[in-house]
A and B are shown apart, each in its own frame.
Chain A
């Protein structure tokens, strides 16, 4: 069994969404230094969005090995 491009894309999407959820969880838990979204969180959210987009771009490549 090997990982395909589509599966790798799915993993990237999960990773990006997970990071984004985690970043909001920091605020919900009151661990952040800033009220609302801080500058580091904004940058991390941007990166998480990029990872999700990267994952989406891999989905059409189907079952080719990653």
Chain B
């Protein structure tokens, strides 16, 4: 057999081996994600500070009540998020009661659906319309799988995916809307027939995203920019009714809540911008997702100059620019999740395009063609392996997981000091969780000790007769008592001069609450002042890496 043919035949195993390794690495992250999700589903208290308030919103909806309320009067509680995620979770609360696992499960399943949609988008390959490389082959299953799994392997998606938070549910609707739009437009351009019903479905998904979380406006902008490029008048014809329906819904809820909807979802979200926070998160996001982001950006530039801009390219650019809002006080890494979803799709399509270009190219010799067929997929698999290394994260709380971490050259624990705000600093402790992000309190599966700590705090509150004035909702919910205050919401409103604290301060001054529970001292300064004057710390309890201060009347 000639050397020219024998070498590639033997070497043909190389891309299969590397693709197999890349798939194994990302499947490993999926296993880790499921472990974390299962541990969270079992944990009956707040893991992330906002979770209990989202459960509270769901409980209010399950009683047919709005969570957009007057913060000036007891129990000084209101939500600052749109309703859809909580409404979707309501049937689970009706069936099983007000448990944290209900919303965590909904959010977790939402991320799996998002990953499936990403895989589907990449698996369909390049658009095959009249203007887009007509006649080329379909996408590649392994690229589709890697793209979908890469989304779930992102540190940011891992951290917040299984939490009782609405953010990833919004990303799910955004992704479904964008992928549906790509399918609808591709089909329209392939046979010239309009698909109004399909586009209506896209609009409904966009509406669902916006009424899950306000941040979806970026995807709405991307979709209408894309429609504008493909047909300005058609874009306007869809934009007007979309804006009308969105606005009418907004007005309807605002009237039904006597203006509390506007105050709590818009005014309370006008937070100060912290440039250093935005810059730090951008650097971290790029470093963690370097392969996905670079490939996506290069492919967007290629489309801008060489072919036509796809919805995915526009979505990626708009979502990335909008990620600057992660610099708002109270925002964070999850604000990059939409850009990550877009990068996963666009990078997958970029690699697919590259492979198709190589396969369709007339190479000078058959030997070169054979080597290109070997080396290019190998290189792409290596890039995904590099990406897998960049996002390394793994709980190490079992001997098997710790052994895997060590075998991969990683430590099996990280020293992190418990987070204190109302008590003295504590020395660092070994945390059985390793993350490329660095020292983080998100991502570590909660333990039995954390559950016992939550029960201990609840027991301390139960010694009194009243609901606790607490920064976490979970303890009052556990005891079946009122959830009093939403601290970050109060702080946002106080910063915007949109809340009257008179009644709350009077109740605290009169020691109307038997217990105060602080975790991060998010309350407005006058509230913290009166707590300091009228209450004293009696117990310190550590849960999930935070030291909670349990305070009683002086």
CB distance from A5 to the nearest CB of B (A): 8
- Docked CA distance A57–B275 (Å): 30
Q: Is the CB of B232 within 8 A of A3?
A: yes
A-B pairs with lowest CB-CB distance, top 10: A3-B229, A66-B229, A65-B308, A2-B230, A66-B309, A2-B231, A1-B231, A65-B131, A1-B232, A3-B232
Nearest residue (CB) in B for A61 is: B305
B228 at the interface (CB under 8 A from A): yes
Instruction: Decide if A8 touches B229 in the complex (CB within 8 Å).
Output: yes
Contacts of A58 in B (CB 8 A): 304-305
Chain B, interface residues (CB within 8 Å), range? 10 to 19
Q: Give every chain B residue within 8 A of A65 (Cβ-Cβ).
A: 131, 229, 308
- Size of interface on A: residues with Cβ below 8 Å to B: 10
Q: Is B233 an interface residue (CB 8 A)?
A: yes
Report how many A-B pairs have Cβ atoms within 8 Å: 22
CB pair B232–A66 under 8 Å, yes or no, is: no
Please, how many angstroms separate the alpha-carbon atoms of A21 and B131 in the complex? 37
CA distance A57 to B305 in the complex (A): 9
- The residue in chain B whose Cβ has the minimal distance to the Cβ of A66 is B229
| Closest chain A residue to B305, Cβ basis | A61
Q: How many whole Å from A55's CB to the nearest CB in chain B?
A: 11
Give the chain A neighbours of B230 by CB distance below 8 A: 2-3
- Report the separation of the CA atoms of residues A40 and B131 in the bound assembly, to the nearest whole angstrom: 41
Binding site for A on B (CB under 8 A): 131, 228-233, 275, 304-305, 308-309
Q: Give Cα A66–Cα B228 distance, bound, in whole angstroms.
A: 10
Q: For A1, what are the chain B residues with a Cβ–Cβ distance below 8 Å?
A: 231-233
Render A1-13 as a binary contact track against B, CB cut-off 8 A, 1 for contact.
1110000100000
- What's the nearest-Cβ distance from chain A to residue B303, in Å? 10
Report yes or no: B308 in contact with A66, Cβ–Cβ below 8 A.
yes
Residue of A nearest to B235 (CB): A3
22 A-B residue pairings within 8 Å (CB atoms): A1-B231, A1-B232, A1-B233, A2-B229, A2-B230, A2-B231, A3-B228, A3-B229, A3-B230, A3-B232, A8-B229, A40-B275, A57-B305, A58-B304, A58-B305, A61-B305, A65-B131, A65-B229, A65-B308, A66-B229, A66-B308, A66-B309
With both chains docked as a complex, state the minimum distance between the C-beta of B463 and any C-beta of chain A, in angstroms: 51
Q: A2-B231, A3-B232 are in contact. List 19 more A-B contacts (CB 8 A).
A: A1-B231, A1-B232, A1-B233, A2-B229, A3-B228, A3-B229, A3-B230, A8-B229, A40-B275, A57-B305, A58-B304, A58-B305, A61-B305, A65-B131, A65-B229, A65-B308, A66-B229, A66-B308, A66-B309
Bound state CA distance, A8 and B230, in angstroms? 11
B305 CB contacts on chain A under 8 angstroms: 57-58, 61
Chain B residues within 8 Å of A3, by CB: 228-230, 232
Q: How far is the CB of B257 from chain A (nearest CB, A)?
A: 32
CA separation between A40 and B275, bound complex, in Å? Answer: 9
| Residue in B closest to A3 when the chains form the complex, CB atoms | B229
User: A8's closest neighbor in chain B, by CB?
Assistant: B229
A55 to B233, CA, bound (A): 22
Closest-by-CB residue of A relative to B233 is A1
- Shortest B221–chain A CB gap in Å is 13
CA distance A2 to B304 in the complex (A): 15
Taken together as a complex, chains A and B put the C-alpha atoms of A15 and B229 apart, in Å, by: 15
On chain B, the residues within 8 Å of A66 by CB distance are 229, 308-309
> Which chain A positions have C-beta within 8 A of B229?
2-3, 8, 65-66
**Shortest CB distance B338–A (Å):** 21
